[in-house]
Structure 1
Amino acid sequence: MTKKLVLIGNGMAGIRTIEEILKVDPNQFSVTVFGEEPHPNYNRIMLSSVLQGDSTVDDIVLNEYSWYEENNIELLVGDPVLKVDTEKQVVVSKNGVEREYDKLIFATGSNAFMLPLPGADLEGVIAFRNIKDCETMIETSNQYKRAVVIGGGLLGLEAARGLLNLNMHVDVIHIADYLMERQLDELGGKLLQEELEAQGMTFHLRKNTKRIVGKKRVQGIEFTDGTSLKTDLVVMAVGIKPNVSLAQEAGLITERAIVVDDYMQTSAPNVYAVGECAQHRGIAYGLVAPLYEQGKVLAAHICSEDGTLENGYEGSLVYTKLKVSGVDVFSAGEFQDSEGTKAIRIHDEFENTYKKVVMKDSKVIGALLFGDTSDSTRLLGMMRNGDDISGMSKAALLPSESGEPQVSPVVAMADSDNICDCNGITKGQICSAITENGFTTVEQVKQCTTAGRSCGGCKPLIADLITATAGVEVGNAPEPMCGCTEYTHEEVVAEIRNLGLSHPREVMNVLGWESDEGCSKCRPAINYYLKMVDPIKNTDDPTSRFINERAHANINHNGTFTVVPRMYGGVTNSDQLRKIADVADKYSVPLLKVTGGQRIDLFGVEKEHLPSVWEDLGMRSGSAYAKALRTVKTCVGEQFCRFGTQDSIGLGIELEKKFEYINTPHKVKMAVSACPRNCAESGIKDFGVVGVDGGWELYVGGNGGVDLRGGDLFCKVKTKEEIIDTISAFMQYYRENARYLERTSHFLERVGLDHMKKVVLEDEAGRRELIERMELALSTGKDPWKEIVENKELQQEFKKKKVEVLS
């Protein structure tokens, strides 16, 4: 008979344990997972990339809702467990759901530690721990400009980098003498500080915060030395506390975390703990690799027939390999100097690299690498294996310093050595996957083996293995669209054209997709390509769009939505404002906010109210969710500004009305400034227009996100008609040749500015053809809010309780 397994916690450690159980015996347990957050399992390590604008929440999801369904796992999101009865073996959730268990796993993770300071409860004082915290910081940056991060460790610096990318002034407060003192020594910490100061961060070391000041919202912080800082946002990143309150209430033995043995068994029968909430031999680990090692042992243990294993979990060698704001850092073992140790130190001030290898009793016991981490795999292997290094030269310990052409460290690694420590994937496993399946890309290896799935730090090693095993230079090998197919984006588009395909499922069927349903990467891409290839014949498939695009509103962390009506060029009138106010009152909208896109957003609209909200507004959608033109930001221009040389509002409105509903590979933002003072931030938009004496300048490929990129001057023209035609031709070429989810900034770097000038400016016949194809595509555009008001099928979806990325 199938046994009942309950998992408390939908995070990385717990779900990895379930994955390992499914590998051992997929039919032994019926599984129920309770998650506190309203999301499927996501990669918490990559939250910084969401904050910095590199990724979306969808990008960092590890297991989509479909994975739970395929494996018959009951997932209850937004519903934490509040009570555990270890005698009756039953759990009860916040929503009153009761589930009996034969085996119970605590994977409750950790909570951010909040300093108990006066004022810590003020609005604008947050942690950096989950998706909601990311969203709060992003929303805050739209209205406020000063931020303080308390904590100069890894998490604090990631938060600071993200806030810097959001155009906030960032002060970092740290109580220690130097940054990241757990991963770096004093010299490494000071080198990192210099790098980050050059990026725009301001540091205050050896500072102890006394209190946070403000009335309702934070206004500043004061230090014990009498100094102070003004701020609009305080992010505490001072550490984490294992989440053990539920375990304590259930009677489990806890110290700093839930005490477990070598098989992750707690003090209660049939109850286990894994991840950050577990304490093994006195240590509670906070890094992903040890947590995954624990999950593997736990899975093997509870799946074994007699409940015993020869070898349990014996602890992990703690190491860190990461990129801090673009700087490569590696540290492992005992890298600080102590009695009886000797060290090799190499500090290259020209290359700004620092390397330190610590030895004791003829063995490497610790290492620290800053700026160049190419020797990290070799050093980590020496520490794990306890290699005798007596007689070894400096060049043998640090091959990167030999001056010889470097061979990838994977060549010398044994098949049993881990390439991906996070997921425990060895060189031998990856080589077998490459050989047996003919893999030529890192993505293929990741989909097959899970190597590179977590922090991604091992991807260069995987690429080297592909080169060594398959003889393919990965940099030159085309990446497939996703793990469902071997076809690249370009090949899929070509096949759609050649075969006259017209529907996503037809594409997947004809081209031999491995999954009948596809995935959240390929289905939206195929749907876009179909409409791009033939906007007249091919119709849009709503089921192949993300929930934001189906609902024509942005989903929030609590399951409500944000409705964004369009305000052309940021211009509104009293009639629009009355409608928005009336809707806000009628539907008790929690928050109205003027955004950086010069619009008023309605936050917190319930899903079932979306059709009637749009109908009552009677305004066109602002497409804040869409892979399309989002906004055209404008300054007030010559009509009111004494510096303005052109009608920026008029051109901005004309551009927005022309291109408002054209689908593009990624979101597109425009801006029109009436003079070179650039008040509309035209220099960091996909298309930025600047008024000058006698005409307009057009800048292209700008990006204000984590990959901050100033737009390139594309051309200077005399009339607004020339600007519109040039943008039209450029955008159509981008639509036809960019890969889905490729921003204009990345596309321009890939194809080259000179190439785009030849295509759009110099080839007159080609330019006319691009404009004609754009006009054809524009002729099929329609206001998407009408789809909600008129589409009964969509309205039925809004009445469902469960919200999925793709249905």
Structure 2
Amino acid sequence: MTQKIVVIGAGMASGRVLEHLSDAGADVEVTLFNAEPRGNYNRIMLSPVLSGDKTYDEIVTHDAHWYAERGVTCRFGEKVASVDRGAKTVTAENGDVLPYDKLVFGTGSNPFIIPFPGHDLEGVIAYRDLEDTERMMGLGEGHKAVVIGGGLLGLEAAAGMAARGVDVTVVHIMGHLMERQLDEAAGYLLRKALIDKGITVKCSANSKEILGENGHVKALLLDDGTELPCDLLVMAVGIRPNVALAQDSGLQVGKGIYVDDQMITSDPDVLAVGECVEHDGAIFGLVAPLYDQAKVAAQTLMGAKATFVQKELSTKLKVTGCDLFSAGDFADGEGREDIVFRDPARGVYKRLVIEDNRIIGAVFYGDTADSNWFFGMIRDKTDISDMRETLIFGPAFQGSAPLDPMAAVAALPPDAEICGCNGICKGTIVEAITGGASDLGAVRATTKASASCGTCTGLVEQLLAVTMGDEFESKQAGICGCTDLTHEEVRRLIKSQELKSMAAVHQELGWKTSCGCHVCRPAINYYLLADWPVEYQDDPQSRFINERKHANIQKDGTFSVVPRMWGGMTTPNELRAIADAAEKYDVPTVHVTGGQRIDLLGVRGEDLPAMWADLNRAGLVSGHAYAKGLRTVKTCVGTDHCRFGTQDSTGLGIKLEKKLWGSWSPHKVKLAVSGCPRNCAEATCKDIGVVCVDSGYQIGVGGAAGMDLKETQRLADVASEQEAIDLATAFMQLYRENAKYLDRPYKWIAKVGLDWVKERIVDDLDERQALIERFELSQSIYQKDPWAEHVAEQANAYQPIADFKLEAAE
């Protein structure tokens, strides 16, 4: 018989309950209430949304399709007014009465607002939900903000606003930041890092009153008389379980809603999970125990036996780009001793607290790579007598273990916890990998490891590398091991700090190596080239081998050469030149590509300069088949020959190709122009596609026909050929200026949203023109045929560069 379940609150804990019920195929009928006008999203990731590194859509856990697919009735933006436990009904705010067999409270917590004078002024907010985040995102340069609270949320709020140019001051009542997670030394390092980011930090500061003007916050007054002017004041001083409805319903409550080991409240038909509960005197703010509760609650709802057990917890965080870890008891005490490691130059601090030859506490700042190993020793009460001298250096220095980057994770036992949020151990992840989960996304989908806060992503990738060996290709969120910064962060800083050389990027952004590596150098080279085309000179050594050779390397070490054929058109003379080159240089394979061009495969590297010279003399130029740039513009014959053609698709394709060729971009770009809706040129699966119709031209963007199959999204309909060219050019430049290196246009559009693109190149004519002008400026410098440039000189430069060993990345 179908069980009716009403869930109050669509947060992360109750959302995980629904996931477990769905995965188990439970016969349930769920109605989900939520006071917020939306479903489950990852609150942990609000900070990246605030800083601009993510969008809200990227942190949505369950979208409308997810709920609909599982038959969940969603009542978002609605509160439950009352619960009648005797009748087993809930009453919604609009008066609807719904029966239930089981009721689940997932009401979460409320932010604590200090009730000193002025706390109710406009502009005083907490940091709890998307609305709070959007209020902070509304500030920019020239605005001032004050954050009360030096814990994790307060510091993330401060860092996110500072990244947007806001003048931010953090006020903290304690002597050092994050005192619950860090000792004084680590707190000092964190404060120093924040100050270096331009954030003012005031510790041992007591707030007295919030001053206002015309009903809006004006300043924070400290008890020493200091006034801190602000346009927005954020209180991030803690949370309290939201128990009001449970209390009104007659459930037993203390600090939270009392639950037993099965997550059952004082009513056997009512369960509770998440930040609203109290279990054995404890309340919960970290996500890991919440997910454990959810798993137990789901089992209880299905009639199975499960028990919630409070576990030893560690805290592993990334605050404003700084890695932090703490676990156990790190307070000073009699009979305890410390092992401390400091490396001021790298900003690394590690402290172990030892008692009776066992680690009872640990605090790490700046380097948390070995934290899971140390946490396992705290949890298992491991005797460290035999490794005392080398303990602080981690597992790679114990016994005869080699000093290998993967040694630490390889040394972890199968029961070592990797993902604290979801309670996933090493053995579970390895089992998933050997079962076919060959990349980070697959591991997340199978085990949920790294799917919450993301701080364990590096460890999961290391497990993939250790388990799969050479078969694993890392797909890190950050650019590479030289920096913790993401592509988006680096690009934003290059622009905002006007960094115009590779050396400036390495120096100002704190690269861990002096000159970068084979992963970051191509990306940085591209960002500098695209953002500063006049000031920056392209660095050939920072390109993949294909781009250095101006030809695609093949598996046998030979190359393929693809001359450009404008819009897929050619002439007998061009064909003769290609045939002559194929014979002269003993090309074993001549292939017609899907992009309407001819590919000469198997060309020896030493023959490339001479072949380029011969083809150049025939008027042929590079097809850039190797490039992160425009590859082809595929066309049909349009009105020239086809009786269905509505416009001159061939002519437009040639004009587009001659306008856009030679432009470096984050990834390869393919275009097509079809002369009618029959779409013979397959324009609806290209990065930019034009379909000609009687009334003009339909412009689509964001298509793909490779590993991912994507249909274009309609950008605009235009009447003239020139408008089509202008929109394609503006789109290309917008993509060049904003996309992550190696992201195809469809991936970039998914991040920024098509509406954002339309606003800038369809709706805003001035910005469209500015984008075209910037594109043309760049093209005036870089639109050159590489085959025609100093062939003899370049012949020497085309040798593989051992320093970086840049391989093709298609």
TM-score of the aligned structures, taking structure 1 as reference length: 0.62
List per-residue Cα deviations over 1:400-423 (Å, max 9, x = no partner).
Answer: 794944434321223333322211
CA distance in 1, matches of 2:46, 2:476: 28
Indicate how the Cα distance of structure 1 residues 187 and 723 shifts in structure 2: closer, same or farther if over 3 A, else same: closer
Task: Report 1 or 2 for greater relative contact order, CA contacts < 8 Å, sequence distance ≥ 6.
Answer: 1
User: Partner of 2:386 in structure 1?
Assistant: 391
The answer to whether the Cα contact below 8 Å between 1:374 and 1:400 also exists between their aligned partners in 2 is no
Indicate how the Cα distance of structure 1 residues 284 and 63 shifts in structure 2: closer, same or farther if over 3 A, else same: same
Indicate how the Cα distance of structure 1 residues 532 and 392 shifts in structure 2: closer, same or farther if over 3 A, else same: closer
The answer to whether the Cα contact below 8 Å between 2:158 and 2:199 also exists between their aligned partners in 1 is yes
Bigger mean CA offset, 26-35 vs 182-191: 26-35
CA distance in 1, matches of 2:48, 2:683: 25
Shift in Å at residue 531 of structure 1? 5.3
Given candidates 164, 174, 177, the residue that maps to 1:176 is 174
Q: Counterpart of 2:180 in structure 1: which amino acid?
A: R
> 1:471 is paired with a residue of what secondary structure?
helix
> 1:276 is paired with a residue of what secondary structure?
coil
CA distance in 2, matches of 1:304, 1:416: 28
- Does residue 199 (structure 1) correspond to residue 204 (structure 2)? The answer is no
Shift in Å at residue 474 of structure 1? 4.7
Shift in Å at residue 267 of structure 1? 1.2
User: Partner of 1:86 in structure 2?
Assistant: 85
Bigger mean CA offset, 183-192 vs 315-324: 315-324
The answer to whether the Cα contact below 8 Å between 2:10 and 2:106 also exists between their aligned partners in 1 is yes
- Does residue 343 (structure 1) correspond to residue 472 (structure 2)? The answer is no
Indicate how the Cα distance of structure 1 residues 380 and 722 shifts in structure 2: closer, same or farther if over 3 A, else same: closer
List per-residue Cα deviations over 1:72-116 (Å, max 9, x = no partner).
Answer: 211211112121111111112223333211111111111111110
Shift in Å at residue 134 of structure 1? 0.9
The answer to whether the Cα contact below 8 Å between 1:42 and 1:60 also exists between their aligned partners in 2 is yes
CA distance in 2, matches of 1:349, 1:128: 33
The answer to whether the Cα contact below 8 Å between 1:252 and 1:267 also exists between their aligned partners in 2 is yes
User: Partner of 2:777 in structure 1?
Assistant: 726
User: Partner of 2:575 in structure 1?
Assistant: none
- Does residue 530 (structure 1) correspond to residue 525 (structure 2)? The answer is no
> 2:691 is paired with a residue of what secondary structure?
coil
- Does residue 49 (structure 1) correspond to residue 48 (structure 2)? The answer is yes
The answer to whether the Cα contact below 8 Å between 1:34 and 1:81 also exists between their aligned partners in 2 is yes
Q: Describe how 1:704-783 pairs up with structure 2 within 5 A.
A: 723=774, 725-726=776-777, 758=782, 760=783
The answer to whether the Cα contact below 8 Å between 2:341 and 2:392 also exists between their aligned partners in 1 is no
Unaligned residue ranges in structure 2 (runs of 5+) = 478-591, 597-631, 637-681, 693-697, 705-709, 717-751, 790-810
List per-residue Cα deviations over 1:771-807 (Å, max 9, x = no partner).
Answer: xxxxxxxxxxxxxxxxxxxxxxxxxxxxxxxxxxxxx
User: Partner of 2:375 in structure 1?
Assistant: 380
Shift in Å at residue 228 of structure 1? 1.3
> 1:626 is paired with a residue of what secondary structure?
helix
Indicate how the Cα distance of structure 1 residues 354 and 301 shifts in structure 2: closer, same or farther if over 3 A, else same: same
List per-residue Cα deviations over 1:528-579 (Å, max 9, x = no partner).
Answer: 98353422268759999x9xx9999xxxxxxxxxxxxxxxxxxxxxxxxxxx
Q: Counterpart of 2:267 in structure 1: which amino acid?
A: A
Indicate how the Cα distance of structure 1 residues 97 and 428 shifts in structure 2: closer, same or farther if over 3 A, else same: farther
> 2:131 is paired with a residue of what secondary structure?
helix
Q: Describe how 1:593-612 pairs up with structure 2 within 5 A.
A: none
User: Partner of 1:643 in structure 2?
Assistant: none
User: Partner of 2:308 in structure 1?
Assistant: 313
The answer to whether the Cα contact below 8 Å between 2:686 and 2:703 also exists between their aligned partners in 1 is no
User: Partner of 2:767 in structure 1?
Assistant: 656
Indicate how the Cα distance of structure 1 residues 74 and 127 shifts in structure 2: closer, same or farther if over 3 A, else same: same
Q: Counterpart of 2:20 in structure 1: which amino acid?
A: E
CA distance in 2, matches of 1:625, 1:234: 33
The answer to whether the Cα contact below 8 Å between 1:441 and 1:478 also exists between their aligned partners in 2 is no
Shift in Å at residue 54 of structure 1? 0.4
Q: Percent identity?
A: 40
Q: Counterpart of 1:318 in structure 2: which amino acid?
A: L
Given candidates 443, 458, 467, the residue that maps to 1:469 is 467
Indicate how the Cα distance of structure 1 residues 301 and 350 shifts in structure 2: closer, same or farther if over 3 A, else same: same
User: Partner of 1:456 in structure 2?
Assistant: 454
Shift in Å at residue 334 of structure 1? 0.8
User: Partner of 1:226 in structure 2?
Assistant: 225
> 2:81 is paired with a residue of what secondary structure?
strand
User: Partner of 1:4 in structure 2?
Assistant: 4
User: Partner of 1:95 in structure 2?
Assistant: 94
Instruction: Give the number of the structure whose alpha-carbon radius of gyration is greater.
Output: 2
Indicate how the Cα distance of structure 1 residues 108 and 495 shifts in structure 2: closer, same or farther if over 3 A, else same: farther
Shift in Å at residue 390 of structure 1? 3.0
The answer to whether the Cα contact below 8 Å between 1:379 and 1:397 also exists between their aligned partners in 2 is no
- Does residue 19 (structure 1) correspond to residue 130 (structure 2)? The answer is no
List per-residue Cα deviations over 1:95-153 (Å, max 9, x = no partner).
Answer: 333321111111111111111021111111111110001111112337x6111001111
The answer to whether the Cα contact below 8 Å between 1:357 and 1:367 also exists between their aligned partners in 2 is yes
User: Partner of 1:613 in structure 2?
Assistant: none
- Does residue 324 (structure 1) correspond to residue 319 (structure 2)? The answer is yes
The answer to whether the Cα contact below 8 Å between 2:684 and 2:703 also exists between their aligned partners in 1 is no
CA distance in 1, matches of 2:389, 2:157: 37
The answer to whether the Cα contact below 8 Å between 1:150 and 1:238 also exists between their aligned partners in 2 is yes
CA distance in 2, matches of 1:654, 1:477: 38
Q: Counterpart of 2:755 in structure 1: which amino acid?
A: A
Q: Counterpart of 2:322 in structure 1: which amino acid?
A: V
CA distance in 2, matches of 1:359, 1:433: 36
CA distance in 2, matches of 1:381, 1:476: 26
| Count of aligned pairs | 545
The answer to whether the Cα contact below 8 Å between 2:760 and 2:768 also exists between their aligned partners in 1 is no
Bigger mean CA offset, 395-404 vs 97-106: 395-404
CA distance in 2, matches of 1:383, 1:366: 7
Indicate how the Cα distance of structure 1 residues 15 and 238 shifts in structure 2: closer, same or farther if over 3 A, else same: same
List per-residue Cα deviations over 1:416-452 (Å, max 9, x = no partner).
Answer: 3332221122322222222222x43212211232211
Report the RMSD for the aligned CA atoms in angstroms. Answer: 3.7
Indicate how the Cα distance of structure 1 residues 501 and 289 shifts in structure 2: closer, same or farther if over 3 A, else same: farther
TM-score of the aligned structures, taking structure 2 as reference length: 0.62
The answer to whether the Cα contact below 8 Å between 1:258 and 1:279 also exists between their aligned partners in 2 is yes
- Does residue 362 (structure 1) correspond to residue 349 (structure 2)? The answer is no
List per-residue Cα deviations over 1:744-789 (Å, max 9, x = no partner).
Answer: xxxxxxxxxxxxx64x4676999xxxxxxxxxxxxxxxxxxxxxxx
Q: Hey, which bits of structure 1, 4+ residues long, moved more than 6 A?
A: 494-502, 541-544, 549-552
User: Partner of 1:264 in structure 2?
Assistant: 263
User: Partner of 2:149 in structure 1?
Assistant: 151
Q: Describe how 1:575-724 pairs up with structure 2 within 5 A.
A: 626-628=755-757, 630-631=759-760, 655-658=766-769, 723=774
Unaligned residue ranges in structure 1 (runs of 5+) = 480-493, 503-526, 553-622, 633-651, 659-669, 671-686, 688-720, 731-756, 767-807
CA distance in 1, matches of 2:347, 2:702: 51
User: Partner of 1:581 in structure 2?
Assistant: none
CA distance in 2, matches of 1:192, 1:725: 45
List per-residue Cα deviations over 1:239-282 (Å, max 9, x = no partner).
Answer: 11111111111111111111111111111221111111111111
Bigger mean CA offset, 403-412 vs 217-226: 403-412
The answer to whether the Cα contact below 8 Å between 1:400 and 1:406 also exists between their aligned partners in 2 is no
